Amino acid sequence: MLLSQASHAFTAHLAEVRRLSPATARAYAADLADLAGAIGDIELHEIDLEHLRDWLWRASQRGDARSTLARRTSSARGLFRWALDAGHVDADPSLRLVTPKRGRTLPKVANAGGLDEMLARAAVAAGEGDPLALRDHAILELLYASGIRVSELCGLDVDDLELGRATARVLGKGSKERVVPYGAPARRAIEAFLTRGRPALAARADAATPAAFLGARGGRIGPRTVYDLVARTVGPIVGSSAVGPHALRHSAATHLLDGGADLRAVQELLGHASLGTTQVYTHVSSERLSAAYRLAHPRA
From the list 149, 187, 250, 255, the catalytic residue is: 149
Q: Which residues have CB under 8 Å from 92's CB, separation 6+?
A: 80, 81, 83, 84
246 is catalytic: yes
Active site residue 232: no
Give yes or no: 281 in active site. Answer: yes
- Residue 121 a catalytic site member: no
Strands, DSSP E only, in 67-135? none
Among residues 108, 198, 249, 250, the one annotated as catalytic is 249
Find all residues with CB under 8 Å of 262, minimum gap 6, and list them: none
From the list 72, 135, 250, 272, the catalytic residue is: 272
Query: In this structure, are residues 279 and 264 in contact, taking their beta carbons and an 8 Å threshold?
Result: no
Active site residue 272: yes
Which one from 26, 53, 58, 246 is the annotated catalytic residue? Answer: 246
Instruction: Choose the catalytic residue: 28, 144, 182, 281.
Output: 281
Q: Residue 128 class from Cβ within 10 Å (0-12 exposed, 13-18 middle, 19+ buried)?
A: exposed
Length of the chain: 300
- Residue of 19, 173, 232, 264 marked active site: 173
- Candidates 35, 54, 159; CA nearest to 97 is 54
Classified as helix, coil or strand, 178 is strand
Provide the annotated active-site residues.
Answer: 149, 173, 246, 249, 272, 281
